[in-house]
Structure 1
Amino acid sequence: MTDQREKWACDYCTYENWSSATKCTMCRAQRSRAPIITEEPYKISPDLDPTRKWDLPANEGGSSLLICPDSSARPRIRSAGMAEMATKWSCQMCTFLNWPRAIRCTQCLCQRPKSCSPTESPHTSSSNAGGRPALHSPVDPCEEYNDRNRLNTHQRHWTCSSCTYQNLPKTLKCVVCDHAKPYHHEAIELAQPPDHSAIINEQDRARWRAGGVGGCSGGQRRSPPLPKREDHVQMDFQRIELAAGAMSGKEEQSMDFKKLKQIRNRMRKMDWLFLSACAGVVEGDLATVEAYKSSGGDIARQLTADEVQLLNRASAFDVGFTLVHLAIRFQRQDMLAILLTEVNQQAAKCIPSMVCPELTEQIRREIAASLHQRKGDFACYFLTDLVTFTLPADIEDLPPAVQEKLFDEVLDRDVQKELEEESPVINWSMELGTRLDSRLYALWNRTAGDCLLDSVLQATWGIYDKDSVLRKTLHDSLHDCSHWFYTRWKEWESWYSQSFGLHFSLREEQWQEDWAFILSLASQPGASLEQTHIFVLAHILRRPIIVYGVKYYKSFRGETLGYTRFQGVYLPLLWEQSFCWKSPIALGYTRGHFSALVAMENDGYDNRGAGANLNTDDDVTVTFLPLVDSERKLLHIHFLSAQEIGNEEQQEKLLREWLDCCVTEGGMLAAMQKSSRRRNHPLVTQMVEKWLDRYRQIRPCASLSDGEEDEDDDE
């Protein structure tokens, strides 16, 4: 009876099978005529009889003829004894245990570190140190076996496209996952032996990942070196690899890395941002899409074949796909709404800052020059100029068709409709909107993570925060006055959670972690901001900010997702009242997006007859901003301290102290926003005039078309 301990090693996967098995249990490979090995190494007689053990005495030097268990084709070598079996070296790349005399890994061809090379002896090292030329060691038969084994593997196996298992060429289905054998050109290329250049390319990549050519660097794996022009976007490529899924070792061996490297070298910063945005749509990360758009990226850009190969996820990315296609495939309704709005409106919009780029740059420099830091304990930055943007009254002098075109290009109709009709937040009072001529208009804003900062500058100076000057000022103010803002934020959050019945208490470490996250958002361009940042912006502007927003988050299909907390009044409570202005600005909030709410110039408050006596000039425009909602409830005041939080009467008293308030004839409490073209900044006035001249030039054409229509009617 055959001893059950006797096993034979498979030539392909080195799995040790029982002697009765005719095929490998693991890979189903046919058993070869290799000598059978047992669980314990034994000595082989000169006639190499695999079925008989010989009780021969060991040599004095411990050398006996051994058969390598991984393949019968491997040349037989003299071993130093049983201790050599326990001195296998582990590959730093794939952790495969190789024979001691192999200078490269049998599996991945990773170079063995020179520090532990068996061909180098202490005598040779000392000779090299002394300046003598190093002696060339003869070619190791193990190394020849490694090369031959690798070539034979590629000739005999085909790689499964589903699980990457290497199957025998005769198998029609994968033995692991039953996936059908591919018959396209990729399978043919895998069946052919790779050329010498591909072997060298894989060897280089193995050296790169092992930590350097010819040696190891602390056991750390490194990516292949990139050109200097791509260093600043290397993190984007790492993020794309994580989003698309890391490739397995067998897939890496079958890929043409030379071509992949050429593709990566041709990539520019905008290309990496586009690939990051594509991966962000798949993962549901809106920040990457906003970063791509804020950098001037084209939303309608399509994926190329090289970019799809670089992303390496065929189930997600196809050639010709855009960000909109990816949002539809992965059902990103919120992203789809933003992307479609951007595609439809980006080319059709025309705002003053787009028409006058030279004046816009001068205004940005003026804003940067007017920013100063207050001396003392509360070292917060502030603006020295009081500027309020309003639509010019000359718009009413244009023909109706031109007015409609102007409003279509400068306003956000979707935001206007949502704030007016779907949930009445603005212009719900006929008294304010009609008789007092205080109708608010939602300016079109970029759908990016900087929409809050853009809307603040639009409501004041009429431009975007393109250079992130306001964001940097926001971060510096939060960092320099962290203790002041942190105390207000912590106290307000504790009271707010208790008011909603959420009786919980956080440890100081948890409060510090949440505050660190708020600080990090302020320093990241494109990152969405929170209520705390609006509170800080009120201190930078030195004036109140009123946010008219929807109460609930809603999906693209209209489903309610959660409760919003942005609507309310933000006062610069940490300043002295004498240091601040009482004229507020208004912002609108819808579906994670902020828009500037501005009014149109009028003939002054004295001519409107609202029941109050104001000593103002005729050139001053007064806009009445309601301090109550459509249900006549007082708007919330954010970030009040424990002493300032009280009943509605106390909060109304606080509003009167920080705002120019009045009560209309209908009994509505409103704040007065005062602006004057004559007192406004001259650069802003010049920019608005140039923008308006664009529509004045098309006035004769519109009038001519109207006259032709009248003649046709007479006929």
Structure 2
Amino acid sequence: MMSDEQRTRKWTCDYCTYENFPSAIKCTMCRAPRPFQSEDIFGLYDHHQSAENASPQAELQLGASACQRAASPPSSCKACTYLNRGRDKSCIQCGTANNLHEHIQPLRISPSNADLAASLPRSRNNSPPASLTNLENSRRSKESKWNCIVCTYENWPRTLKCAMCGNTPNNLFSQASSLILSSPERDVQNTSTPIESISQTSNNCEYERKLRHLRRQADWNWLNACNGVIEGDPNPVEVYLSSGGDPARTLTASEVAILNRSSAFDAGHTLVHLAIRFQREDLLAILLSQIEGSGSGIKRVPSYVAPDLAADIRRHFATTIRQRKGNFPCNFVTELPTFALPAEVDELPAPVQEQLFTELLDKDAQEQLESDPAVINWSLDLTVRLGSRLYALWNRSSGDCLLDSVMQATWGVFDRDNALRRALAESLSQGGHVFYPRWKEYEASHASFLQYSLEEGQWKEDWRSLLSLAGQPGTSLEQLHVFALAHILRRPIIVYGVKYVKSFRGEALGYARFEGVYLPLLWESSFCVKTPIALGYTRGHFSALVPLEPYSRLDSRPTSQNPDQMQSTFLPLMDRDRKLLPIHFLTEAELGREEIILRQWLDVCETEDGILVAQHFITKRPLLVAQMVEEWLNHYRRLVQMSSAPFVRPLPIQDYSSDGDTDEE
């Protein structure tokens, strides 16, 4: 309740210090509400009685409140000498700010000092001793204010954000984290890198100056390569590697700060880490091939030069797979392209052409297939007069090399998405009742020739093993799988392979049974095409064998009524001893009719030297494949321009290889 004296005297506004009449409910000057007036509870309290019964902590708090009341004496204004009350923040007469309240700090006792304060002796007037006040002031002096690096406003130590602009300084988080870290960890943080010491300063100008200094000293080839991996751009990566950059180099904290993308870059990461994190398979192939012992060297295949187009081709191929209805539920493809090297390769200068073949072909496989006894390119009549030389494309050496080589021979890409393997596994699983009898009869005839036989349980076990291999990516495949692939592709597959599998020392380990012709004998011949694909087999590894396009592709004049029908190359159906290549999975009734069967499923003709060959027609490339080949070929065209420029520069060599795979199986 308000007393009569309080009702008749004027009241002062707490906001503008204007002195209002007693009847005013709001301030006449600033319209602020009238402060709440109540009884003086301190005057009703008996200090002497409470001092006798109070606990030491309560006495300490009582002394603190007394100090606060005593510490607010009236003070005169320095400008007009008007006598103001101690709690007034500015002079009532002239409005001059009174700084007295900034120097008068109320006594604050933290819980950690409560026991200490309780144990200290008390003075007669029950006020806290000077030692406790000095302790508190010493603690507060250690907590200095911090300046905002944006607006330079001076904030209290425990303020998380600037009270003026809301900015959160970096050094505030480092200071906060140091409060919870042990001293050894704080020492490591304080002595790590120069950029971390920059972040500890509160001067924004100094921070920018030191950061500019680091940028001037930075290796921008290296930093641009890091950004190139994130953005999927191979050009800065190639520039860095061609200049002798180390692919195993790691990012430092200073370089991470310069890149200014904390969500993408971390200290200690290499280009390989970034390529794996952001799934840049083409760039990963380049980087791994540069690391000693991790790759096969310099390789540049079309699918690595144009990875986006290669992915589109694989997705399109998956849409062409269908399943035949009826008694033989086998998968088949609806489009039947044949991949060949562009004829423009033969027009490149010799140095550029040599580099192209070095980066594209599997030189080891090519040498093994052409060495004595030669398996491919052994007839000058075929290679020179008919222009049917075969080239072994470089292939990944994982257990998927058979499927990859089939995809290269048709679409020019690898089976990275395992679409062809899934089609193979489904065909053998659902059409097993048709494949199994022919497979068993063929294997039994070979077993009887070697004078041994198997029981039915063993045949079933071997069949289940073959089905399991077909459905496991990365596992090597057998003859049955090549036979099934001929049905999926609806075309013959000719495998030119070595006679014996040899070790690295040249020792013969066993007889290689892959060489021969695989025909889609379980389909009707009218459902299939007669243009075969060729594969090479060397030391447990398959490679796609492709020819160079005929020169007629470069001639704009029409050579026939059908512009899509091109000239053909020729694949030999005999070995160099003029013996027919074996036809796999023939039944006993079909043995002895090999040449008739070949003429039924292939366009067979005979050369002037009496070599039985199959026509290998080269049709127009699908649009996506043509774009991929053109982009790959443009790289070597640019090299020709560089070599013929007024100031000739050495031809750069960059690495494009598989992601972690090697040439060796």
TM-score normalized by the length of structure 2: 0.52
Q: 2:625 aligns with which of 684, 688, 698?
A: 684
Return closer, same or farther for 1:297/1:510 CA change in 2, 3 Å cut-off. farther
Looking at structure 2, the residues matched to 629 and 614 of structure 1 have their Cα atoms a distance apart, in angstroms, of 33
Partner amino acid, structure 2, of 1:571: L
- Written as runs of structure 1 = structure 2, the 5 A alignment for 1:49-68 is none
Give the equivalent residue in structure 2 for 1:520: 468
Residue 587 (structure 1) aligned with residue 539 (structure 2)? no
Looking at structure 2, the residues matched to 652 and 498 of structure 1 have their Cα atoms a distance apart, in angstroms, of 24
Q: 1:693 aligns with which of 623, 631, 634?
A: 634
- Written as runs of structure 1 = structure 2, the 5 A alignment for 1:151-162 is none
- Written as runs of structure 1 = structure 2, the 5 A alignment for 1:4-403 is 343-345=295-297, 348-403=298-353
Cα deviation for residue 697 of structure 1 reads 1.0
Partner amino acid, structure 1, of 2:384: T
Cα deviation for residue 504 of structure 1 reads 2.1
Return closer, same or farther for 1:422/1:667 CA change in 2, 3 Å cut-off. closer
Partner amino acid, structure 2, of 1:441: Y
- Contact 2:400–2:476 (Cα < 8 Å) also in 1: yes
Cα deviation for residue 298 of structure 1 reads 8.5
Partner amino acid, structure 1, of 2:296: N
- Contact 2:530–2:603 (Cα < 8 Å) also in 1: yes
Looking at structure 1, the residues matched to 542 and 600 of structure 2 have their Cα atoms a distance apart, in angstroms, of 27
Return closer, same or farther for 1:681/1:426 CA change in 2, 3 Å cut-off. same
- Contact 1:399–1:702 (Cα < 8 Å) also in 2: no
Looking at structure 2, the residues matched to 438 and 676 of structure 1 have their Cα atoms a distance apart, in angstroms, of 15
Cα deviation for residue 415 of structure 1 reads 0.7
Cα deviation for residue 505 of structure 1 reads 2.1
Looking at structure 2, the residues matched to 700 and 614 of structure 1 have their Cα atoms a distance apart, in angstroms, of 35
Give the equivalent residue in structure 1 for 2:484: 536
Q: 2:603 aligns with which of 641, 646, 660?
A: 660
Looking at structure 2, the residues matched to 300 and 442 of structure 1 have their Cα atoms a distance apart, in angstroms, of 20
Give the equivalent residue in structure 1 for 2:500: 552
- Contact 2:534–2:545 (Cα < 8 Å) also in 1: yes
Cα deviation for residue 399 of structure 1 reads 1.4
Looking at structure 2, the residues matched to 465 and 653 of structure 1 have their Cα atoms a distance apart, in angstroms, of 34
Looking at structure 2, the residues matched to 300 and 384 of structure 1 have their Cα atoms a distance apart, in angstroms, of 36
SS in 1 for 2:551: coil
Return closer, same or farther for 1:645/1:615 CA change in 2, 3 Å cut-off. farther
Q: 2:618 aligns with which of 675, 679, 691?
A: 675
Give the equivalent residue in structure 1 for 2:357: 407
Runs of 4+ in 1 over 6 A off after TM superposition: 295-302, 613-616, 705-709
SS in 1 for 2:584: coil
- Written as runs of structure 1 = structure 2, the 5 A alignment for 1:538-617 is 538-603=486-551
Cα RMSD, aligned residues only: 3.0
Cα deviation for residue 357 of structure 1 reads 1.1
Return closer, same or farther for 1:708/1:512 CA change in 2, 3 Å cut-off. closer
Cα deviation for residue 507 of structure 1 reads 1.1
SS in 2 for 1:698: helix
Give the equivalent residue in structure 1 for 2:42: none
Return closer, same or farther for 1:698/1:300 CA change in 2, 3 Å cut-off. closer
Unaligned runs of 5+ in 2: 1-271, 651-665
Q: 1:642 aligns with which of 563, 588, 592?
A: 588
Return closer, same or farther for 1:553/1:437 CA change in 2, 3 Å cut-off. same
Give the equivalent residue in structure 1 for 2:653: none
Residue 469 (structure 1) aligned with residue 412 (structure 2)? no
Cα deviation for residue 503 of structure 1 reads 2.0
Higher relative contact order (CA 8 A, sep 6+): 2
Looking at structure 2, the residues matched to 298 and 397 of structure 1 have their Cα atoms a distance apart, in angstroms, of 31
Looking at structure 2, the residues matched to 449 and 704 of structure 1 have their Cα atoms a distance apart, in angstroms, of 45
Q: Deviations over 1:452-480 (max 9, x none)?
A: 00000000000000011111110000000
Cα deviation for residue 702 of structure 1 reads 1.6
Partner amino acid, structure 2, of 1:420: E
- Contact 1:620–1:676 (Cα < 8 Å) also in 2: yes
TM-score normalized by the length of structure 1: 0.49
Residue 421 (structure 1) aligned with residue 421 (structure 2)? no
- Written as runs of structure 1 = structure 2, the 5 A alignment for 1:457-496 is 457-496=407-446
SS in 2 for 1:423: coil
Q: Deviations over 1:650-681 (max 9, x none)?
A: 2001000000110111111000110123xx21
- Contact 1:604–1:619 (Cα < 8 Å) also in 2: no
Looking at structure 1, the residues matched to 437 and 387 of structure 2 have their Cα atoms a distance apart, in angstroms, of 41
Cα deviation for residue 301 of structure 1 reads 12
Q: Deviations over 1:421-473 (max 9, x none)?
A: 24300000000000000000000000110000000000000000001111111
Return closer, same or farther for 1:672/1:704 CA change in 2, 3 Å cut-off. same
Return closer, same or farther for 1:586/1:300 CA change in 2, 3 Å cut-off. closer
Percentage identity across paired residues of the two chains: 55
- Contact 1:604–1:622 (Cα < 8 Å) also in 2: no
Rg: which structure is higher?
2
Give the equivalent residue in structure 2 for 1:507: 455
SS in 2 for 1:343: coil
Unaligned runs of 5+ in 1: 1-269, 275-291, 303-321, 323-339, 608-612, 710-715
Return closer, same or farther for 1:615/1:574 CA change in 2, 3 Å cut-off. farther
Residue 633 (structure 1) aligned with residue 633 (structure 2)? no
Residue 622 (structure 1) aligned with residue 571 (structure 2)? no
Cα deviation for residue 386 of structure 1 reads 1.1
Partner amino acid, structure 2, of 1:585: I
Partner amino acid, structure 1, of 2:572: P
Looking at structure 1, the residues matched to 286 and 412 of structure 2 have their Cα atoms a distance apart, in angstroms, of 23
- Contact 1:548–1:589 (Cα < 8 Å) also in 2: yes
Cα deviation for residue 707 of structure 1 reads 7.7
Partner amino acid, structure 2, of 1:476: E
SS in 2 for 1:624: strand
Return closer, same or farther for 1:365/1:300 CA change in 2, 3 Å cut-off. closer
